[in-house]
Amino acid sequence: MSVLSGKRILLGVSGGIAAYKTASLVRLFIKAGAHVQVIMTPASKDFVTPLTLSTLSKNPVYSTFFNEDEEDEKWNNHVEFGLWADLMLVAPATANTLSKMANGTCDNLLIATYLSAKCPVYFAPAMDLDMYKHPSTIASFQALEQFGNIMIPAESGELASGLSGEGRMAEPENIVAFLEADLESKLPLKEKKILITAGPTYEAIDPVRFIGNHSSGKMGFDIAKSAANLGASVILVSGPTHCVVNHVLIQLVKVTSAQEMYDACHQYYADVDVAIAAAAVADYRPKNVANQKIKKAADNFVIELEKTKDILSSLGENKKQQFLIGFALETENEIENAKAKIQKKNLDLIVLNSLQDEGAGFQKTTNKVTFIDKDFKIEPMELKSKEAVADDILNKVIAHFYE
């Protein structure tokens, strides 16, 4: 999955022949899963039509401060565009637009939006080779880089003038690759390894029966996705579940029983920076597993159970560099029980689910949790989607490394 997936991209198009390439660029952004809002300078409309970019971006395209066509929404609010975006890209960035950006010459919607944008701004220059080398253009590049804007350098090749040299706007594929590489290099959990347990475990009674629980695995899978989207390499050890995952940074290790989950966790634990135990591990398993299917006979049937190993406790015992997060599912004396678990299992943070909270728990898409850290600082959270809870958990991980 591209790091651009879900990102809100503001594409500012200025008036150069390379503007025709923005059709492919918008297409690539949409294919990567991004949301695209195009703002054009009036001159750029001579090179590519707003209709083309609007159709491809699935959004209206704006180029003036006033919108004559819309009765209700006459005013195109550059401040709103600027706040909406996760990143702004000016492509093609002509010498004229670059100079206006560098000097704050706010005579069109694109520049007003640029001046309002709080997000990272990238620009992909496009012009003839002599213009590209002119001290005035170089001064614009330098000014913009000083502002923290990021240049996607022009490429060499045949230019619209018939001359050949540096100045062609980077090809759309290369712009996308540049943005992806730049965003990935800035992800907060890049180079961090995270072990996550998820789902239920099944403890065999005989070849066809088991003791299990209703855990869907969703919470653990959402944590894995959130961690991977932040750049972490994830080892997701999961019991049987219908959840699916498809992310280059997530390695899924499928297990069935508590013992298999224990073994898999210990295989990877020494190398990880963070471990998060979201699995609903069976606390007990049948002491003897029948080799053949058990036939029904007597009216009563007793299965003797023995304790499984507590995976999270064993991770706590072997803890070195790892930031260790556990879950607690409680029905009474929640806070006190959760605090006791922090100490017993040597945790850094516990995510407490109280079944007394409506909307929390197994087979739900929402969760209401309370964070308690090892100093017993208590932080109750709102009822949220499990994806949002996963993001909150990862924010705790980021805070651990950077605060």
Instruction: List residues forming the annotated binding site for CTP.
Output: 283, 293, 327, 341, 345
Of 172 and 316, CB closest to ligand CTP = 316
Name 235's bridge partners.
195, 251
Supply the minimum distance, in Å, between the C-beta of residue 371 and ligand CTP.
Answer: 13
Q: Look up residue 213 and give its DSSP letter.
A: -
3-state secondary structure of 245: coil
Q: Given the rule CB under 6 A, which residues bind ligand CTP?
A: 197, 258, 277, 279, 281, 283, 308, 310-312, 326-329
Minimum CB separation of residue 350 from ligand CTP in Å reads 8
Residue 98 vs residues 123, 131, 295, 388: alpha-carbon distances, Å = 8, 12, 81, 39
> Backbone phi, then psi, for 80, in 5-degree steps?
-65, -45
Query: Which sign does the torsion angle of CA 64, 65, 66, 71 carry?
Result: positive
Q: Is 229 designated active site?
A: no
d(CA 206, CA 295): 10
Least Å distance between CB 361 and ligand CTP?
A: 12
Catalytic entry in 213, 337, 346, 395: 213
Phi, psi of 84 (to 5 degrees): -70, -35
Select 107 or 283, whichever has its Cβ closest to ligand CTP: 283
Which residues face 355 on adjacent strands? none
Question: Which residue number, 310 or 373, has a Cβ lying nearer to ligand CTP?
Answer: 310
Nearer to ligand CTP, 48 or 351 (CB): 351
Q: Min. distance of Cβ 20 from ligand CTP in angstroms?
A: 55
**How is residue 87 written in tokens?**
């990143």
What values do phi and psi take at 160, rounded to 5? -60, -30
185's CB contacts (< 8 A; 6+ apart) are: none
Known binding positions:
283, 293, 327, 341, 345
> Which residues are designated catalytic?
213
